[in-house]
Amino acid sequence: MKPKKIHDSVLELIGNTPMVRLNRIGAGLVSEILVKVEYMNPSGSLKDRIAVEMIEQAEKEGKLKPGYTIIESSTGNTGFALSSIGTLKGYKVRIYETMPGKAGAEKQKMMHNVGAEVRLMEPADIEHLRERSVAGSEVELPGRQLCLEDERAEPDKIWWARQFSNKDNVKAHHVTAREILEQTDGKVDVFVQSIGTGGSLAGIAEVLKKEVPNVKVIGIQPASSKELWHPGMDFPATETKGGIVSAMLKQQGLIDVLVRITDTEARAMTHRLWQEEGLYCGVSSGANVHFALEEAKKSGGKKSIVTLLCDHMNRYLTEERYVT
Ligand SMILES: Cc1ncc(COP(=O)(O)O)c(C=O)c1O
């Protein structure tokens, strides 16, 4: 099909992101590192893919109706993608920070600038939440707990996207996987991705594991994460916890390896991507490439190691932190 010269809407620009070989960072290696440039999505991150899929599916199922407010707990990328697509479609959008201090200054401003209501948190708010905890649970995911409270209070006015457990988050990334297969002619030996909700890793792994014999799938956790995950872990899911990550870890053979990467390692590789490759990505992309390079160095024979550049450097000007 000939590429369209004029698009009817910015929504048509979501997905079909380019893939680039790392020539300098990968210099001298037999294997190649291929990065899929997800920051070229319209809102600057991979989260456009899931935002449009979750919103349009909820509309079809009658869960999201005109006049509703879309809510979510986010460190900012899903928040901004929902804010931009949600306001474009005429909805109000309210984004809660996941926990105090997690949403960077640029992401807060971007969400606010496109018309979303941004609710930040103070450490004292967590204590307050603990007192009226809905599930009597530990308040380690306060943003999600606030979304649950809002949803229960006004079920006819609010749609909580529930990205951490929404099946359409995973489904949106089946498309990402198909694009990867097409761009590499099916030659993917290793796939590496940082985990937030787990939607991208689970969705891409589900397709790759079906289509590519012996593909190795590696997940990365920020070393700052409180919970230590491992493949095969029996991790309970509740209304505010677990979701895609717990299903993904339990599913035998989906994820082969889980590693942890520090802020320092992630930041150092992010700077190399900016300075040596002209790829203006965020810090989780640096974490991805840091580990992709480790794999490339140790692999015997020519392997294709694929990873994602999840978001744009423009949201890390004030602070360079590895958050997912
Ligand atoms: C910058 C960044 N990298 C990676 C991820 C991981 O994506 P996912 O939620 O699909 O696990 C996210 C989102 O959580 C993110 O915001």
Which residue's C-alpha comes closest to atom 12 of ligand 1?
A: 324
Residues 286 and 213 grouped into a single domain: yes
Residues 188 and 225 grouped into a single domain: yes
Residues 142 and 191 grouped into a single domain: no
Residues 31 and 177 grouped into a single domain: yes
Cβ atoms < 10 Å from Cβ of 294:
16
Residues 35 and 56 grouped into a single domain: no
Instruction: Report yes or no on 222 lying in a domain.
Output: yes
Residue 132 is predicted with a pLDDT of: 58
Residues 202 and 145 grouped into a single domain: no
Residue in 77, 102, 175, 321 to alter for ligand 1 test, most ligand atoms within 8 A of Cβ: 77
Residues 58 and 151 grouped into a single domain: yes
Which of residues 106, 136, 160 is at a domain's end?
160
Residue 140 is predicted with a pLDDT of: 60
Angle (nearest 5°) at CA 68 between 11 and 76:
55
List the structure tokens of 171.
Answer: 């489904």
Residue 316 is predicted with a pLDDT of: 96
Residues 184 and 201 grouped into a single domain: yes
Instruction: Report yes or no on 181 lying in a domain.
Output: yes
Residue 88's domain spans which residues?
47-160
Q: Check pocket membership of 203 for ligand 1, CB cut-off 6 A.
A: no
Instruction: Report yes or no on 146 lying in a domain.
Output: yes
Instruction: Report yes or no on 259 lying in a domain.
Output: yes
Domains identified in the chain, total number:
2
What is the pTM (predicted TM-score) of this model? 0.95
Q: Check pocket membership of 270 for ligand 1, CB cut-off 6 A.
A: no
Residues 192 and 303 grouped into a single domain: yes
Positions marked catalytic: 47
Q: Check pocket membership of 98 for ligand 1, CB cut-off 6 A.
A: no
Which residue's C-alpha comes closest to atom 7 of ligand 1?
A: 196
CATH (domain of 301): 3.40.50.1100
Which of residues 133, 160, 187 is at a domain's end?
160
Q: Which residues of the chain have pLDDT under 70?
A: 130-140
Residues 290 and 211 grouped into a single domain: yes
Residues 23 and 52 grouped into a single domain: no
Which of residues 160, 188, 217 is at a domain's end?
160
Biggest alpha carbon–alpha carbon distance for the chain: 59
Instruction: Report yes or no on 138 lying in a domain.
Output: yes
Residue in 197, 201, 246, 313 to alter for ligand 1 test, most ligand atoms within 8 A of Cβ: 197
Dihedral over alpha carbons 117, 122, 55, 149 (to 10 degrees): -100
Residues 71 and 153 grouped into a single domain: yes
